[in-house]
Structure 1
């Protein structure tokens, strides 16, 4: 009896509290379900599923399609970011190893490019040496990048990069045509080397001394001290006159003397003065030519040769003009008169002037009329030192 009364006490307590039996079972089911007991569904009778719902204190709002779609998208983005982060952390050691490989390749390329004599790739051309260093450094760096991509299992990226580089190179080729033309012309000029630093050249209408040759332009220092930069493409296609390629250079000047003076006497005086100047070469010897003879006077042109390695052309030419002018003055050979002379003659006079001291000799004995061979030796030196496309023995079909 006592035991039975003990079991009946909870039921009496429930009835005293005014709770319905099914309501209590439903509350117990939810409590057990919330704490996660696996036996909750077995301990509670099936009638609990049909119990009356517990009144809610807050009214819930049903979810709309927009809320579900936004939540689904955020969940997808979060899952993707989480997956990539985990994958990146897993591949972090390989990524660090690939970066180290690229850095080592860059360092090795710089080291090898600075010591090209180990590979016997050095030339006598500083411009080509710089170009060769950049090529060697670039090849080693590209090899390191390929090894790093292979380590990361990203070799498929190489094909895409090469294809993109081809299209990009074609577009840049049209956009930067002038720059590419100057760069290629610089390489060809460096290979051909039609001039050296310090040479005096004339390129079209530009004249000066060669200072430097870069990948884009050529630097000239003009005779008045200005720096002139010419694009390599212009230099490569222009008419180039190198005054320093041959150490021997000819100077010339003209004198206009009165028509009444002896040409032979003026020629002998001028040649003697030019030959006596320190710096004028004896081979080729000084020479002269008659440019014009008329009522306005006789125009004589004199020539002399100097060695540009030891003498200045302008200074010697100025000294020659000064000495010849003084010798003509001492010999009584002057410039043409600017006044007109009217000569009255008798009817029985034939009008021919009487011969004087300055009369020309009637014979040409001792006059040199042979072929001018002054530059033949220099032409032969150029033919022997360079490939001559005009020589049939050296030309190829």
Structure 2
């Protein structure tokens, strides 16, 4: 039957083609195997070299990943060239055509986060272990990858943030310096003496442990408030070794103690009500 002959001829032709390409396929497999060996030892060499440097840990991981991926890309292209005669990277890109554009749009966010991750690692401003505030997130950086950053919030929840979000928005690194300034607003009676109040506030801060001895605490009259004279108290904390919340508590306790000792009160808010017309008043007995 003619169609059986046709199928038989096609089968024989395909079999001959597979047999003829076996040497090329074998060579391609050898190239893949060599690529595996080269990538493995190249990563070890890169790890040894970066281990002797002062590069941050995530940047070392980036270099190892780039080395591994680069070697595998080159190796697979060589294997495809050996296995498929006439194959070139240019012909592959041309063959994809509009598909390459569609893939680019589909992976746009991934590429954006990847590039942002590389730039975050290279500029070396935010490191693992830093406390940060970014876009409503406050916590400690636990891990930086090529696509995302893991932030452990101070309330112990883990937040996974895309790198592009950290790169494009403002990030406050709270632990960039080992000394940080803190402040509190203190209200005192209008009857209080300015100089005595300022001196009491300074004494209250000076006795607190954890302040930077190289910078004296400062106190300034801020404004005339609705019911008090507002004094701005500022101090510098050794935040690398002391909890700022604890130091702030001790400062406020010290200020209150010194103001009490000086006989200076911290007034409650006063409210003055004015009526346009006379208001009838009655005594308690009359009301009863």
Same fold (TM over 0.5): yes
How many aligned residue pairs are there?
A: 271
Contact 2:204 2:257 in 1 (8 A): no
The whole-number CA distance in structure 2 between the counterparts of 1:148 and 1:338 is 81
The Cα offsets for residues 180-230 of structure 1, whole Å up to 9 and x where unpaired, read as 111111111111122112222221332222222112222212221111222
Q: 1:111 aligned to 41, 45, 49, which one?
A: 41
Q: Match for residue 18 of structure 2? A: 88
The whole-number CA distance in structure 2 between the counterparts of 1:105 and 1:338 is 76
Contact 2:204 2:256 in 1 (8 A): no
Q: 1:278 aligned to 205, 209, 214, which one?
A: 209
Q: Extract structure 1 runs of 4+ deviating beyond 4 A.
A: 117-123, 149-153, 337-341
TM-score by length of structure 1 reads 0.62
Change in Cα spacing, 1:148 to 1:326, as seen in structure 2 (3 Å) is: closer
Per the TM alignment, residue 170 of structure 1 is displaced from its structure 2 partner at its CA by 2.2
Per the TM alignment, residue 139 of structure 1 is displaced from its structure 2 partner at its CA by 3.5
Q: Match for residue 240 of structure 1? A: 171
Q: Match for residue 161 of structure 1? A: 92
The whole-number CA distance in structure 1 between the counterparts of 2:68 and 2:3 is 48
Pairs within 5 Å for 1:1-397: 71-116=1-46, 124-152=55-83, 154-156=85-87, 158-165=89-96, 167-294=98-225, 296-336=227-267
The whole-number CA distance in structure 2 between the counterparts of 1:221 and 1:201 is 10
Contact 1:275 1:282 in 2 (8 A): no
Runs of at least 5 residues in structure 2 that lack an aligned partner in the other structure: 273-288
The whole-number CA distance in structure 2 between the counterparts of 1:133 and 1:337 is 63
Q: Match for residue 279 of structure 2? A: none
Contact 2:142 2:150 in 1 (8 A): yes
Larger Rg computed on CA atoms: 1
TM-score by length of structure 2 reads 0.83
Q: Secondary structure at the match of 2:190?
A: coil
Per the TM alignment, residue 130 of structure 1 is displaced from its structure 2 partner at its CA by 2.9
Change in Cα spacing, 1:167 to 1:313, as seen in structure 2 (3 Å) is: same
The Cα offsets for residues 148-169 of structure 1, whole Å up to 9 and x where unpaired, read as 4454461336543232356443
The whole-number CA distance in structure 2 between the counterparts of 1:141 and 1:290 is 67
Query: Aligned-residue CA RMSD in angstroms?
Result: 2.7
The whole-number CA distance in structure 2 between the counterparts of 1:122 and 1:230 is 31
